[in-house]
A and B are shown apart, each in its own frame.
Chain A
Amino acid sequence: MPEISYLEAIRQALWQEMKRDERVFLLGEDIGRYGGAFGLTHDMLDEFGPERVRETPISEATIVATAIGASLLGMRPVAEIMFMDFVTLALDQIANQAAKMHFMFGGRTTVPIVIRMPGGSGSGAASQHSQSLESVLMHFPGLKVVNPSTPYDAKGLMLASIRDPNPVCFIEHKVLYKTKGEVPEGDYTIPIGIAEIKRAGRDITVVANNIMVMKTLNVAEKLSKDGIEVEVIDPRTLLPLDTETIINSVARTCRLLVVHEACLTGGWAGEVIACVVGSPAFDYIDAPVRRLGGKDIPIPYNRGLEKFAIPQEADIEQEIRALVEGKI
């Protein structure tokens, strides 16, 4: 199986789906000749032309609204928000419009749009270009929030997102763009709303998303040598959240840690923990349930400050050890 980057995997999904379905088109800022701020849509303008790789003015709210309007007439738009931080500029169209139309109109229409948005810190982009806002988007019923951590998941989830009849916020991570993995060349989808156990283990369940999946897997590998077996679950979709997979895992491992880059307060770790402790798995829990999140600060610019604003492998390792060894 060919090994390609996370960025290429998403691009491949867009490319293949645009070939397969003429209703699909892209819109966003600088996605044409420039190829997108991260190069994700490179060469797509030449292949599909300016009508289907539609460059827009810097108008995030209207980019999303345009996708909504076109979807009501049967199109399948994929809108790009250049940095996830800018989603706040489009939030009315996402939260009050796209998320609610199917419900508010009595099920008589659907809004099949995808809104791509790279989030996350680690690129020195400072406070307004580095946030992880997935928890914000999880608070609007009617939206789906997809958040792949590997190239394989990214392609399969993108194809599923474009074919989904609901509005999907597709969250990418800037630091993951260059990571590589095996990705089938052909067509495949990964169902939205299904978590994956990325590594099986008996001692503790760690639920993590995007870049924290990679970090947790590195830690798990290391701890395995010390006899600690970590089960790593990537929800892949945050809304709707596959609580069943998580609850079943905790019932086996009897311990739970949730790790995300997003700010701790109001972060989705709280949601996962609430679901678990409110479930029958509660009876099996042998240790405090814990969460590790980004510090409750805006992401700083300085390299060192930026790094320590979010959980590091050492933090994850320390938490896991403390929980498994009964030190908390």
Chain B
Amino acid sequence: MSKDKGKTKGKDIGTREQFEERVKRLGLSNDNLIDLYRTMCTVRHFEYMADRLYAAGKVHGTMHLSAGQEAVAAGISLAIHPDDYLINHHRGHGHFIAKGADINLMMAEFLGKDTGYNRGRGGSMHIADFQSNNLGANGIVGGGIPQAVGVGLALQMQKRKEICICIFGDGATNEGVFHEAMNMVALWKLPVLYICENNKYGMSMDVERAVAKLPIAQRADAYGIPWACVDGNDVVEVYDAMKIAADHVRSGKGPYFVEAITYRYFGHSKSDRNLYRSKEEIDDWKQNRDPIMRFTKHLLQSEILDESQAQKIDGQVEQVILKAMEFAEASPEPDISTLMEFVYA
């Protein structure tokens, strides 16, 4: 683990040769790379559309947007299998989209519609899709981390090949259950890949004021769990680390912990006025370290995409999001007569 791991590279994105050598070593095809680009663009468009819908008063509650963190979601999804299980956190739109969620049903859930993933009962913070082994996002910080122990245990008892991916933020690693769960997955060598998406702030609390010893990932040492800390705004680096981690977990060697350093552009939630961080800091991340911008530069430089192809993908993605919005808006509200449903199975 080199010292500068976990710091984002910023403007220095490396040479064309370095990028191509890396992509070749990882066996990534042009299609893979274009898929990563498309996924990141989809997440970005989705988040900005969600923000616009909120501003227009069409979203009832709050939401936690992940714009700026797209490389983590895209990198994970390419490294895992479609039938792997996902336990997600409240800032989870990107991971769901990257894992192949139906964007229409997600958008409908945002608007609280009956056609949404949760039939309008959950909203942005609780999206789940059990058919694609997406076991849901959690509104309690760290709430899903110990549940991954159970998913991993069931997979082990049922002698299955799938693994459990559990994603959470930096703030969640200060919850007691984080430590209980890390201990138990390590004790029982469970097939769980823990991913800490460190976006620098737990609501307004700077990670450096909240975590006694950084990087967060070194906490895994206490439990004998192998770990890595990567630049979460470099999608290829994220993929690289996640692939190593996922392969390790799938091979039966037990859990793995990856920390991805990233940054969120929007506030924590809709009440956030960004009083705890400067405009300069936000602008620096947006202008110099943006994961999509950095990846696009590589793709253009290596002639995997040209400007017009990139714009075309962007346009296609925008259409998908617009259609999802139209689907959501046209969908019916849950009937009030169904209020008491789903309390008990």
| Chain B 276-308 interface residues, beta-carbon cutoff 8 Å to A | none
Q: Could you list 4 further interchain pairs (A-B, Cβ under 8 angstroms) beyond the known A59-B146, A68-B147, A93-B146?
A: A57-B187, A75-B150, A106-B342, A240-B344
Assess whether B154 is in contact with A65, with CB atoms less than 8 Å apart.
Answer: no
Contact of B345 among A66, A70, A102 (CB under 8 A): A102
Contact of B149 among A69, A103, A144 (CB under 8 A): A69
**Quick one: given A66-B146, A68-B147, are A104 and B140 in contact (CB under 8 Å)?**
no
Assess whether B157 is in contact with A59, with CB atoms less than 8 Å apart.
Answer: no
| Chain B 165-203 interface residues, beta-carbon cutoff 8 Å to A | 176-177, 180-181, 183-184, 187
Q: CA separation between A74 and B181, bound complex, in Å?
A: 21
Instruction: Find chain B residues with CB under 8 A from A189 CB.
Output: none
Instruction: Find chain A residues with CB under 8 A from B324 CB.
Output: none
Q: CA separation between A68 and B323, bound complex, in Å?
A: 36
Please give the distance in Å from B241's CB to the nearest CB on chain A.
Answer: 24
**Quick one: given A105-B121, A141-B343, are A62 and B180 in contact (CB under 8 Å)?**
yes
Contact of A59 among B119, B126, B184, B343 (CB under 8 A): B184
Q: Mark B127-151, 1 if CB is under 8 A from A, else 0.
A: 0101000011011100101111111
Q: CA separation between A116 and B294, bound complex, in Å?
A: 53
Q: Mark B323-345, 1 if CB is under 8 A from A, else 0.
A: 00000000000000000011111
Instruction: Find chain A residues with CB under 8 A from B153 CB.
Output: 54, 66, 69-70, 75
Assess whether A105 is in contact with B136, with CB atoms less than 8 Å apart.
Answer: yes
Instruction: Find chain B residues with CB under 8 A from A65 CB.
Output: 145-147, 149-150, 177, 181
A–B pairs, 24, beta carbons within 8 Å: A57-B184, A62-B146, A65-B145, A65-B147, A65-B149, A65-B181, A69-B87, A69-B135, A69-B147, A72-B135, A75-B157, A77-B150, A92-B177, A93-B146, A93-B147, A97-B143, A103-B343, A104-B126, A105-B128, A105-B136, A106-B116, A106-B121, A107-B341, A165-B345
Residue of A nearest to B140 (CB): A96
A217, CB-defined interface residue at 8 Å: no
Instruction: Find chain A residues with CB under 8 A from B122 CB.
Output: 104-106
Instruction: Find chain A residues with CB under 8 A from B152 CB.
Output: 69
Please give the distance in Å from B178's CB to the nearest CB on chain A.
Answer: 10
B251, CB-defined interface residue at 8 Å: no
Q: CA separation between A77 and B184, bound complex, in Å?
A: 16
Number of residues of chain A lying within 8 A (CB) of chain B: 41
Please give the distance in Å from A24's CB to the nearest CB on chain B.
Answer: 11
Please give the distance in Å from B239's CB to the nearest CB on chain A.
Answer: 26
Q: Mark B72-101, 1 if CB is under 8 A from A, else 0.
A: 000000000000010100000000000000
Q: CA separation between A75 and B147, bound complex, in Å?
A: 13
Assess whether B140 is in contact with A67, with CB atoms less than 8 Å apart.
Answer: no
Please give the distance in Å from A64's CB to the nearest CB on chain B.
Answer: 8
Instruction: Find chain A residues with CB under 8 A from B139 CB.
Output: 96
B257, CB-defined interface residue at 8 Å: no
Residue of B nearest to A107 (CB): B342
Assess whether B151 is in contact with A69, with CB atoms less than 8 Å apart.
Answer: yes
Instruction: Find chain A residues with CB under 8 A from B117 CB.
Output: 105-106, 108
A109, CB-defined interface residue at 8 Å: yes
Residue of B nearest to A98 (CB): B147
Contact of A74 among B126, B154, B345 (CB under 8 A): B154
Q: CA separation between A142 and B146, bound complex, in Å?
A: 20
Q: CA separation between A86 and B143, bound complex, in Å?
A: 18
**Quick one: given A73-B151, A73-B158, are A57 and B181 in contact (CB under 8 Å)?**
no
A71, CB-defined interface residue at 8 Å: yes
Q: Which of A51, A97, A108 has the most CB of B within 10 A?
A: A108
Q: CA separation between A109 and B85, bound complex, in Å?
A: 14
Instruction: Find chain A residues with CB under 8 A from B150 CB.
Output: 65-73, 75, 77
Q: CA separation between A166 and B343, bound complex, in Å?
A: 9
Instruction: Find chain B residues with CB under 8 A from A92 CB.
Output: 140, 143, 177
A110, CB-defined interface residue at 8 Å: yes
A83, CB-defined interface residue at 8 Å: no
**Quick one: given A62-B184, A66-B150, are A108 and B130 in contact (CB under 8 Å)?**
yes
A56, CB-defined interface residue at 8 Å: yes
**Quick one: given A56-B184, A62-B180, A65-B149, are A103 and B154 in contact (CB under 8 Å)?**
no
A25, CB-defined interface residue at 8 Å: yes
Assess whether A62 is in contact with B177, with CB atoms less than 8 Å apart.
Answer: yes
Q: CA separation between A77 and B154, bound complex, in Å?
A: 10
| Chain A 24-79 interface residues, beta-carbon cutoff 8 Å to B | 25, 51, 54, 56-57, 59, 61-62, 65-75, 77
Q: Mark A220-253, 1 if CB is under 8 A from B, else 0.
A: 0000000000000000000010000000000000
Q: CA separation between A66 and B158, bound complex, in Å?
A: 15
Q: CA separation between A252 and B7, bound complex, in Å?
A: 75
Contact of B151 among A62, A70, A105 (CB under 8 A): A70
Assess whether B151 is in contact with A142, with CB atoms less than 8 Å apart.
Answer: no
Q: Mark A147-170, 1 if CB is under 8 A from B, else 0.
A: 000000000000000000110000
Instruction: Find chain B residues with CB under 8 A from A114 CB.
Output: none
Please give the distance in Å from B93's CB to the nearest CB on chain A.
Answer: 16
Residue of A nearest to B181 (CB): A62
**Quick one: given A61-B177, A97-B140, A97-B147, are A108 and B343 in contact (CB under 8 Å)?**
no
Q: Mark A93-126, 1 if CB is under 8 A from B, else 0.
A: 1001100011111111110100000000000000
Instruction: Find chain A residues with CB under 8 A from B136 CB.
Output: 101, 104-105, 109
Q: CA separation between A166 and B345, bound complex, in Å?
A: 6
Q: CA separation between A269 and B341, bound complex, in Å?
A: 27
Instruction: Find chain B residues with CB under 8 A from A74 CB.
Output: 154, 158
Assess whether B119 is in contact with A107, with CB atoms less than 8 Å apart.
Answer: yes
Instruction: Find chain A residues with CB under 8 A from B154 CB.
Output: 69-70, 72-75
**Quick one: given A67-B150, A75-B157, are A108 and B180 in contact (CB under 8 Å)?**
no
Instruction: Find chain A residues with CB under 8 A from B158 CB.
Output: 73-74
Q: CA separation between A91 and B72, bound complex, in Å?
A: 32
Contact of A61 among B120, B157, B176 (CB under 8 A): B176
Residue of B nearest to A59 (CB): B180
Q: CA separation between A93 and B139, bound complex, in Å?
A: 12
Please give the distance in Å from A253's CB to the nearest CB on chain B.
Answer: 31
Please give the distance in Å from A191's CB to the nearest CB on chain B.
Answer: 13
